[in-house]
């Protein structure tokens, strides 16, 4: 067990600098050991980013619907990285996401990768600084192990965290901006499962209206840009996406959900689904109860984001960037008001877990991430700020 006395702000900053140096060395080594744009793991550099780049290319040529065809997507990805023959990352996002990544294929693959990761990382760091305006907090946030996982995977975890976390922390100070951010989050709809529930429980009807309008405008723009056939193709492939999740084509060891952990341990689909539903419904009920009490907004946001991590059935290791939100909020509150027993240890474990969770699940069949998520959710629930009946905002604390 990590001793509490070793977890001080100075040490955390020092460890963060060390982690960043290790990340940089790993990134250089990863590129040096790659051949023909294939990394040491046998995947294209940036791994899943090739999916975004190929979808952008289809969209720019007016053929986004073809991105949902697995054979056409495989051909496109092989054309981008010829040495990746036989591999394919399926496109399962709604057409709205294509709007956000549309310009990527106008650039060379490597340039597009760096631009996408840099821009979304900047959004993520804006969020952390808004929660805890201290440069040391930004340093720790960059060193969060989920950042490395997301960057190596070429994924959109930074964007998801910025949209969900930003939408929640801006609810009272900038409700229109909050609604727009939450509307944009529908590019990855399963990460917004709890959003309508907590907003309704808290009485944020204006934000709900703006988010609904933003969602409709987002979808309409995608329809105008890519046509009806793109939406038809998206809806048609959803059953296949469900099959991928149930059968493990989408690897369970890379997921942090209760469903994936149960399946990895040998549970059937019905039992795994039931266990996940119990946890998800419990998290949703506690979130609704807390948001109805209208306590401190940041405390409620931390609870909602950690609850989202528990409720989402397909939560990948790169999606764990979301956990930076409750980590930052709990850390900021601990620095202001004092630390609950064991909280600093839990935050360090959570900070480290994205880097080791998948490896433990893959090699030792120990899917421990759901336990980390449950502990983090419980820590958020126990914060005394949730017991207040006054609707406090961040500027009031």
Question: Which tens digits make up the pLDDT trace of 319-357?
Answer: 999 999 999 999 888 888 888 888 888 998 998 899 888
pLDDT surpassing 80 at residue 390: no
Q: 64, 98 in Cβ contact below 8 A?
A: yes
- What pLDDT score does 23 carry? 73
Banded pLDDT at 393 (limits 50, 70, 90): very low
Start-to-end CA distance of the chain, whole Å, equals 33
Cα–Cα distance list, 60 to 98, 224, 226 (Å): 9, 13, 9
Question: Which tens digits make up the pLDDT trace of 21-52?
Answer: 777 777 777 777 777 667 777 777 777 899 99
Q: Where are the alpha helices (DSSP H) in 227-323?
A: 228-247, 258-264, 269-293, 297-311
Q: 73, 90 in Cβ contact below 8 A?
A: yes
Question: Which tens digits make up the pLDDT trace of 246-276?
Answer: 888 888 889 999 999 999 999 999 999 999 9
- Give dist(CA 56, CA 44) in Å, integer: 17
- Give dist(CA 289, CA 392) in Å, integer: 16
Banded pLDDT at 9 (limits 50, 70, 90): low
Q: Give the total number of structural domains in the chain.
A: 1
- What pLDDT score does 135 carry? 82
Question: Which tens digits make up the pLDDT trace of 208-241?
Answer: 999 999 999 999 999 999 999 999 999 999 988 8
Question: Which tens digits make up the pLDDT trace of 276-296?
Answer: 999 999 999 999 999 998 888
- Give dist(CA 184, CA 177) in Å, integer: 11
Q: 321, 117 in Cβ contact below 8 A?
A: no
Size (the chain), residues:
397
Domain that holds residue 298: 4-396
Across the chain, mean pLDDT equals 88
Q: 104, 53 in Cβ contact below 8 A?
A: yes
């Amino acid at each position: 067990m990590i001793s509490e006395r070793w977890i001080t702000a100075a040490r955390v900053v020092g460890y963060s600098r060390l982690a960043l140096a290790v990340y940089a060395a790993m990134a250089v080594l990863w590129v040096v050991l790659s051949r023909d744009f294939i990394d040491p793991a046998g995947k294209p550099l940036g791994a899943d980013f090739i999916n975004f780049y190929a979808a952008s290319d289809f969209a720019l040529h007016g053929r986004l619907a073809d991105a949902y065809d697995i054979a056409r997507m495989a051909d496109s990805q092989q054309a981008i990285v010829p040495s990746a023959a036989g591999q394919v990352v399926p496109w399962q996002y709604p057409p709205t996401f294509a709007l956000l990544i549309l310009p990527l294929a106008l650039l060379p693959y490597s340039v597009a990768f760096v631009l996408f990761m840099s821009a979304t990382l900047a959004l993520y760091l804006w969020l952390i600084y808004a929660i805890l305006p201290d440069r040391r907090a930004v340093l720790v946030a960059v060193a969060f192990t989920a950042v490395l996982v997301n960057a190596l995977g070429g994924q959109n975890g930074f964007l998801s965290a910025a949209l969900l976390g930003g939408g929640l922390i801006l609810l009272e100070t900038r409700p229109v901006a909050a609604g727009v951010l939450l509307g944009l989050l529908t590019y990855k709809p399963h990460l917004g499962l709890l959003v309508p529930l907590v907003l309704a429980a808290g009485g944020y009807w204006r934000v709900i209206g703006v988010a609904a309008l933003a969602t409709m405008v987002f979808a309409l723009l995608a329809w105008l840009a890519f046509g009806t056939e793109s939406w038809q193709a998206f809806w048609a492939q959803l059953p296949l996406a469900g099959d991928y999740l149930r059968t493990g084509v989408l690897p369970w060891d890379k997921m942090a959900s209760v469903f994936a952990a149960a399946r990895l341990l040998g549970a059937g689909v019905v039992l795994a689904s039931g266990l996940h539903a119990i946890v998800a419904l419990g998290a949703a009920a506690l979130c609704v109860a807390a948001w109805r009490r209208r306590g401190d907004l940041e405390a409620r946001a931390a609870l909602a984001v950690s609850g989202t991590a528990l409720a989402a059935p397909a939560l990948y290791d790169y999606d764990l960037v979301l956990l930076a939100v409750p980590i930052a909020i709990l850390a900021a509150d601990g620095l202001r008001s004092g630390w609950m027993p064991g909280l600093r240890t839990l935050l360090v474990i959570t900070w480290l877990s994205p880097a080791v969770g998948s490896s433990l699940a893959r090699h030792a069949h120990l899917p421990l991430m759901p336990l980390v998520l449950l502990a983090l959710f419980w820590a958020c629930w126990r914060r005394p700020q949730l017991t207040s009946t006054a609707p406090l905002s961040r500027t009031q604390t």
